[in-house]
């Protein structure tokens, strides 16, 4: 298929904020494509050349893209830079200069989706001496063969500025709509995606044979989308909801998904990033486990070997690095607390009850010096849940997880099979909230020199694939954090909100949803200013007196932010607690 058709699809997506229209536009594209090209289109529409766990990113900086535009169209770099400063969009610069080329190429060829994808993949994987010039040359070649509209999206792609607003749920809906004319296959498509974390593979399989998605199963070395926990406000509600359950320590570390296939080991973060090379001692410990293949989950914490004290997340996060890995591993070794087993020796056991999975897991890791089962107890008593909770918190842990002993593992889903209860302080919510930054404010007064006055944060609605505002956060930042955030956010500034953002507020600068921070607040209130859960009465939900906690959450994607449904659930739980307190008084 010609790349021009994908470029026209991108233009249509950029031009609408209607999710139904986006679904129909992509469904039309998928319907025209052979199966193997659908994979390329899905990756390109999401600004990628591979699923996240492959760890392959194009990652060309703006300066290199400017050089490629200059080389392709015969303009000086100063002219390209001047136009970029004026428009703030390298895509528009490329489109304009392509329309008025100053040099004609000797040879040109019509671009196909496959050609564009393969070129970007090659750019992403080139390395070594001279690779930078080679990447510029490859990008310039694409631009040289492009129409003005094609050039617009080709220039935006390597710097991550497509501005299409295409999230995973929208792609899944479009695939279903392509085949069924409605969203009735969405659940089956999502189930397949949860088991492989590769949206391109799901699209290719579904277009080739819609029945094939029913045959997807977990496979070692291919990450599974993690199960998620719900919230309840008290031990009494947990006991009432779950009855006899597993009560487990909630650690404040890296959530890791560990895969073994023979001697091959891969480790993925909760956002399905490959972390294998960062954790050599964990890889060695997994390799020694006595099974052919397995997939299990655990929480890794850095600790002090002399005192046995576990470090907080802010220090554990230092183990996530590309350089100086061995030195940091010696300085801050890890312990891995395993809590669930999904696959072992050729068998997907995720649908077995938790108590059976847990028993198998404990048998497999027995004797390991680095890997231990998470601390856990079985109880049906609210008083015992409260006692364990207080014990965990007194030891510096986050709180506890309560799990249904009979429940299967629900990949990619948030259900009451897992419930979390976290520590809180007087005047705060019973849990923190993770928000995606969608904009920020210029500094005023004492913060004028820092150029940073706070952020506009949003939570995620997977039903509509949108980010909905919930708070303007201006406190909790250190001076160093404010400087670092301004540097990060200034790079991803855009002139208008991302197509998936729903906001009534106007920050000084809009940014692409990329970074997640954790905030606490006094309570959740109803507000006409915010769009989170906005109802027919034009009233949404907001955080009262929000403040940032910790640092930017590099382990979470924007789509991993707290959901609108969770906020509504927290608000209702908060109201129940308030009513109970009033009744007791």
Q: What is the mean pLDDT of residues 411-430?
A: 78
Is residue 444 flagged as an active site residue? no
- Phi and psi for 59 in degrees, rounded to 5? 55, 45
- If pLDDT is split at 50, 70 and 90, which confidence band does 168 have? very high
Alpha carbons 464 and 531: distance in angstroms, whole number: 13
Give the model confidence (pLDDT) of 202-247 as tens digits: 999 999 999 999 999 999 999 999 999 998 888 999 999 999 999 9
Q: What is the pLDDT, as a whole number, of residue 107?
A: 67
Report residue 242: phi and psi, to 5°: -100, -25
Q: In terms of DSSP bridges, do strands 347-348 and 371-373 run parallel, antiparallel, or are they unpaired?
A: unpaired
Q: Can you tell me which residue has the tokens 């052979």?
A: 34
User: Which SS3 state, helix, strand or coil, does residue 435 take?
Assistant: strand
Q: Domain 433-581 falls in which CATH fold?
A: OB fold (Dihydrolipoamide Acetyltransferase, E2P) (2.40.50)
Confidence of residue 30 (pLDDT cuts 50, 70, 90): very high
What's the rounded mean pLDDT across residues 535-541?
86
Would you tell me the crossing angle of helices 90-99 and 62-73 to the nearest 10 degrees? 0
Average pLDDT, the chain: 91
| Model pLDDT, residue 80 | 96
**Pairing between strand 493-494 and 509-511?**
antiparallel
**Share of residues in the chain with pLDDT > 70 (%):** 96
Q: Residue range 395-409: average pLDDT?
A: 93
Q: How do residues 243-272 score in pLDDT, each as one tens digit? A: 999 999 999 898 999 999 999 999 999 888
- Is 312 a residue whose pLDDT tops 90? no
Domain ranges of the chain: 48-159, 232-422, 433-581
State the Cα–Cα distance between residues 30 and 174, nearest whole angstrom: 8
In this predicted structure, what is the pLDDT of residue 578?
59
pLDDT of residue 559: 93
Q: Exactly one of 250, 403, 420, 472 is catalytic; which is it?
A: 250
List pLDDT tens digits, range 340-384: 999 999 999 999 999 999 999 999 999 999 999 999 999 999 999
Alpha-carbon distance 443 to 302, whole Å?
36
The whole-number pLDDT of residue 106 equals 59
Which residue(s) pair with 509 in the sheet?
440
**CATH annotation of 48-159:** 1.10.3260.10
Banded model confidence at residue 55, pLDDT cuts 50, 70, 90: confident
- pLDDT single digits (tens) 333-343: 899 999 999 99
Q: Quick one: average pLDDT of 409-421?
A: 92
Q: Which range has the worst mean pLDDT, 264-273, 437-446, 507-516?
A: 437-446
The pLDDT score that the predictor gives to residue 577 is 58
What was the pLDDT predicted at 220?
A: 96
pLDDT tens digits for 175-208? Answer: 999 999 999 999 999 999 999 999 999 999 999 9
3-class DSSP state of 140: helix
Identify the pLDDT of residue 303.
Answer: 82
Nearest to 540, CA basis, from 510, 578, 580, 571: 571
Report d(CA 458, CA 302) in Å as an integer.
31
Q: What is the pLDDT of residue 143?
A: 96
pLDDT in the model for residue 585: 47
Question: Residue 18: exposed, middle, or buried by beta-carbon count in 10 A (0-12, 13-18, 19+)?
Answer: exposed
| Domain 232-422 architecture | 2-Layer Sandwich (3.30)
pLDDT at 337: 96
Pairing of strands 414-422, 433-441: unpaired
d(CA 118, CA 122): 6
According to the model, what pLDDT value does residue 581 have? 47
> What share of the chain in percent tops pLDDT 90?
73
When pLDDT is cut at 50, 70 and 90, the band that residue 413 belongs to is confident
Task: Please name the residue that has the structure tokens 């920020």.
Answer: 440
The residue with greater pLDDT, 314 or 68, is 68
pLDDT band at 579 (very low <50, low <70, confident <90, very high): low
Residue 103 has pLDDT above 90, yes or no: no
DSSP per residue, 372-403: EEPPEEEE--HHHHHHHHHHHHHTT--EEEEE
What pLDDT band is residue 415 in, cutting at 50, 70 and 90? confident
């Amino acid at each position: 298929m010609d790349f021009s058709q994908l470029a026209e699809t991108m233009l249509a997506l950029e031009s609408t904020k209607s999710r139904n229209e986006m679904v129909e536009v992509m469904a039309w594209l998928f319907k025209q494509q052979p199966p193997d090209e659908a994979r390329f289109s899905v990756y390109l529409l999401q600004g990628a050349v591979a699923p996240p766990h492959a760890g392959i990113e194009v990652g060309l900086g703006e300066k290199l893209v400017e050089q490629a535009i200059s080389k392709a169209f015969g303009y000086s770099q100063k002219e390209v830079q001047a136009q970029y400063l004026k428009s703030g969009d390298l895509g528009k610069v490329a489109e304009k200069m392509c329309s008025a080329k100053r040099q004609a190429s000797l040879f040109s060829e019509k671009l196909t989706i496959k050609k564009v994808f393969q070129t970007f993949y090659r750019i992403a994987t080139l390395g070594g001496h001279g690779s930078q010039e080679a990447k510029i040359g490859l990008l310039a070649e694409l631009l040289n063969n492009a129409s003005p509209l094609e050039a617009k999206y080709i220039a935006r792609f390597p710097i991550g500025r497509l501005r299409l607003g295409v999230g995973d749920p929208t792609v899944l809906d479009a695939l279903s709509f392509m085949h069924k004319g409605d969203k009735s296959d969405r659940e089956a498509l999502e189930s397949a995606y949860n088991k492989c974390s590769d949206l391109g593979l799901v699209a290719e399989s579904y277009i080739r044979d819609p029945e094939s998605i029913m045959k997807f199963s977990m496979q070692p070395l291919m990450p599974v989308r993690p199960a998620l926990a719900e919230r309840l406000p008290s031990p009494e509600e947990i006991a009432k909801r779950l009855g006899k359950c597993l009560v487990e320590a909630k650690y404040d570390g890296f959530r890791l998904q560990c895969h073994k296939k023979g001697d091959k080991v891969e480790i993925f973060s909760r956002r399905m990033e490959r972390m294998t090379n960062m954790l050599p001692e964990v890889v060695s410990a997994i390799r020694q486990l006595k099974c052919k293949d397995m997939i299990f989950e655990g929480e890794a914490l850095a600790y002090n070997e002399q005192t046995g004290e576990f470090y907080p997340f802010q220090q554990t996060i230092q183990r996530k690095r590309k350089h100086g890995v061995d030195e940091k591993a010696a300085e801050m070794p890890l312990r891995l607390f395993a809590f669930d087993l999904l696959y072992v020796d050729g068998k997907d056991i995720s649908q077995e009850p938790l108590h059976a999975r847990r028993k198998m897991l404990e048998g497999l890791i027995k004797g390991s010096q680095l890997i231990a089962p998470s601390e856990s107890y079985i109880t049906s008593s609210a008083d015992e849940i409260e006692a364990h909770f207080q014990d965990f918190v007194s030891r510096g842990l986050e709180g506890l997880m309560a799990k249904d002993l009979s429940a299967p593992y629900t990949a990619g889903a948030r259900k009451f099979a897992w419930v979390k209860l976290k520590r809180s302080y007087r005047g705060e919510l019973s849990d923190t909230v993770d928000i995606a930054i969608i904009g920020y404010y210029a500094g005023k007064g004492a913060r004028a020199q820092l150029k940073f006055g706070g952020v506009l944060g949003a939570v995620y609605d997977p039903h509509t694939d949108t980010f909905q505002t919930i708070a303007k956060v201006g406190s909790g930042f250190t001076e160093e954090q404010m400087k670092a955030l301004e540097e990060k956010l200034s790079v991803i500034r855009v002139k208008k909100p991302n197509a998936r953002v729903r906001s009534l507020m106007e920050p000084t600068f809009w940014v692409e949803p990329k970074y997640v921070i954790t905030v606490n607040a006094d309570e959740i209130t109803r507000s006409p200013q915010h769009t989170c859960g906005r109802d027919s009465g034009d009233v949404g939900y907001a955080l009262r007196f929000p403040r940032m906690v910790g640092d930017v959450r590099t382990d979470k994607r924007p789509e991993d932010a707290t959901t609108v449904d969770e906020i509504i659930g927290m608000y209702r739980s908060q109201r129940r607690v308030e009513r109970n307190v009033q009744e007791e008084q």
